[in-house]
Amino acid sequence: MIEGSKVDNASKVLRFGMVGGGEGSFIGDVHRKAAAFDGKCRLTAGCFSRDHDNTLRTGANLGLPADRLYRSYGEMAAAEAAREDGIDFVSIVTPNYEHYGIAKEFINRGVSVVCDKPLVLTVEEAQELVELAKRKDVLFCVTYTYSGFPMVKQARHLVRSGKIGEILMVMGEYPQDWLITNIEKEGQKQAAWRTDPKQAGVSNCIGDIGSHIENTVAYITGLKIKSLCAKLDIIGEGRTLDTNGSVLVKYDNGASGVYWASQIAIGNDNALKVRIFGTLGSIEWIQENPNYLYVTYRGQPTQILSRGQGYLDAAAASRIPPGHPEGYYEAFANIYSKFAGALLKKKAGETLGEADMDFPDAEAGRDGVKFINACVKSSRAGSVWMEL
């Protein structure tokens, strides 16, 4: 049963719709579970697939009424904006090339947006969405997952409070091995669209996982990339998009960085690692062991900080006691929880502070698009330095 607006407002629950995420979707199911984690959001509408039968089956399995299951996102945006109990925000979980049109349609209807990364395909599209969201006064979240991990938030606090001093060097890597063979030719859905330039855009590997390095570093440090030099490799018969990439980075404070992203690195599952070196110390966070943060201060032994402990400044982001592993779903849920909390305050007419906005916004999404496109341009030009 989908309850009306009076009940939702009284119980502080936001209604949301989803575009994409039909049968066979991995990330759509992740978004739905994450949004439901804290009871702040209720899925009430959807256009889950270009195949309406898929949308109807998906919606029925999720308990949605048939009149809230739409044939197109345009139909959904118009109908939901006209309803008294229409959606408060939309989650966009389609392949990359569709993000721009969908986001623009809902923003123009006054509906806030949660969009999977990367935000869009071009810098021009990204900037337009940044400006449109401001003009229409809607909230916009881009789900860069790793910003939701408690120990990433602790790393952010340590860096931004000056504990490791001025940043000198950053090392980020994200190796996987799932595209070492051409599984896209065997019907693997996730590989098929990611290796298709019509759906993924100008980049596969850097756009898909390299952008996570860029955002995680930016979230922790606050540094902006001034220029970069990239070499992207297309490995795999018949492919036209990168599956491996190395990037040299110069930041606005004069620091340097080295990023490596790969989908053909045998022996690696999802091995995101970020190391940040400053004048007073260094920090290291490893995604596959996410509940710990390694901190070393100059002249001292390395400390291993454990998620959920009372000595942490970012302890509030933890959901369960130390020693009980938290991971991907909880981090995703932290992003949705922050976004929902901000949107609820906004609907109530309350002023939003910096703490309320602790989620990747449209500007963070735009910065990711700028990074991806600069990497591709640099590599195509013979690995020359490119200004951002």
Q: Indicate which CATH number applies to the domain containing 117.
A: 3.40.50.720
Q: Exposure pattern of 264-286 as b/e (b: 16+ CB <10 Å)? A: bbeebeebbbbbbbbeebbbbbe
User: Considering the domain boundaries, does residue 163 fall inside one?
Assistant: yes
One domain, residues 190 and 141:
no
DSSP letter for 62, please.
Answer: T
Q: Are 200 and 118 in contact (CB under 8 A)?
A: no
% of the chain surpassing 70 pLDDT: 97
1: part of which helix (H) or strand (E)? Answer: none
One domain, residues 278 and 316:
yes
User: Considering the domain boundaries, does residue 339 fall inside one?
Assistant: no
Using the predicted structure, report yes or no on whether residue 318 has a pLDDT greater than 70. yes
Using the predicted structure, report yes or no on whether residue 2 has a pLDDT greater than 50. no
Using the predicted structure, report yes or no on whether residue 1 has a pLDDT greater than 60. no
Q: Kindly report the CATH number assigned to the domain that includes residue 220.
A: 3.30.360.10
In which domain, by residue range, is 234 found? 147-320+364-387
96: part of which helix (H) or strand (E)? Answer: none
Tens digit of each residue's pLDDT (9 = 90 or more) over 127-181: 999 999 999 999 999 999 999 999 999 999 999 999 999 999 999 999 999 999 9
Please state the domain count of the chain.
Answer: 2
User: Considering the domain boundaries, does residue 348 fall inside one?
Assistant: no
Confidence at residue 24, expressed as pLDDT on a 0 to 100 scale: 85
Q: Are 123 and 356 in contact (CB under 8 A)?
A: no
Using the predicted structure, report yes or no on whether residue 4 has a pLDDT greater than 90. no
Using the predicted structure, report yes or no on whether residue 72 has a pLDDT greater than 80. yes
Ordered strands of the 292-297 beta sheet? 303-306, 292-297, 281-286, 273-278, 167-175, 256-262, 244-251, 225-233, 386-387
12 — pLDDT class (breaks 50, 70, 90): confident
Residue 45 backbone phi and psi in degrees, to 5 = -155, 160
One domain, residues 140 and 201:
no
* Residue 172 Rama label (left phi>0; alpha psi -120 to 50; beta): beta
Token digits for 152? Answer: 């990433």
One domain, residues 118 and 215:
no
Domain end among 146, 167, 195: 146
One domain, residues 17 and 141:
yes
Helix (H, G, I), strand (E, B) or coil at 135: helix
User: How far, in Å, CA of 202 to CA of 123, rounded?
Assistant: 12
Domain end among 146, 174, 193: 146
Tens digit of each residue's pLDDT (9 = 90 or more) over 209-252: 999 999 999 999 999 999 999 999 999 999 999 999 999 999 99
Using the predicted structure, report yes or no on whether residue 361 has a pLDDT greater than 70. yes
User: Considering the domain boundaries, does residue 358 fall inside one?
Assistant: no
User: Considering the domain boundaries, does residue 206 fall inside one?
Assistant: yes
Please give the full DSSP string across 193-233, using - where no structure is assigned.
HHT-HHHH-S-SHIIIIIHHHHHHHHHHH---EEEEEEEEE
Domain end among 123, 146, 169: 146
Cis before 301? omega within 30: no
Using the predicted structure, report yes or no on whether residue 339 has a pLDDT greater than 60. yes
One domain, residues 157 and 71:
no
Contacts of 379 (CB under 8 A, 6+ apart): 230, 231, 232, 242, 245
Instruction: Give Dmax (Cα) for the chain.
Output: 65
Average pLDDT, the chain: 95
Token digits for 351? Answer: 């002023």
Using the predicted structure, report yes or no on whether residue 8 has a pLDDT greater than 60. no
Tens digit of each residue's pLDDT (9 = 90 or more) over 24-65: 889 999 999 999 999 999 999 999 999 999 999 999 999 999
Confidence at residue 314, expressed as pLDDT on a 0 to 100 scale: 77
User: How far, in Å, CA of 315 to CA of 261, rounded?
Assistant: 30
**Average pLDDT estimate for 268-290:** 98
Helix (H, G, I), strand (E, B) or coil at 284: strand
One domain, residues 199 and 224:
yes
One domain, residues 220 and 368:
yes
User: How far, in Å, CA of 85 to CA of 72, rounded?
Assistant: 19
One domain, residues 155 and 291:
yes
User: Considering the domain boundaries, does residue 9 fall inside one?
Assistant: yes
User: How far, in Å, CA of 293 to CA of 289, rounded?
Assistant: 9
One domain, residues 90 and 196:
no
Using the predicted structure, report yes or no on whether residue 7 has a pLDDT greater than 60. no
Token digits for 269? Answer: 């599952």
User: Considering the domain boundaries, does residue 188 fall inside one?
Assistant: yes
Confidence at residue 11, expressed as pLDDT on a 0 to 100 scale: 53
One domain, residues 58 and 121:
yes
pTM: 0.94
One domain, residues 177 and 297:
yes
Token digits for 181? Answer: 């063979």
Residue 248 backbone phi and psi in degrees, to 5 = -95, 140
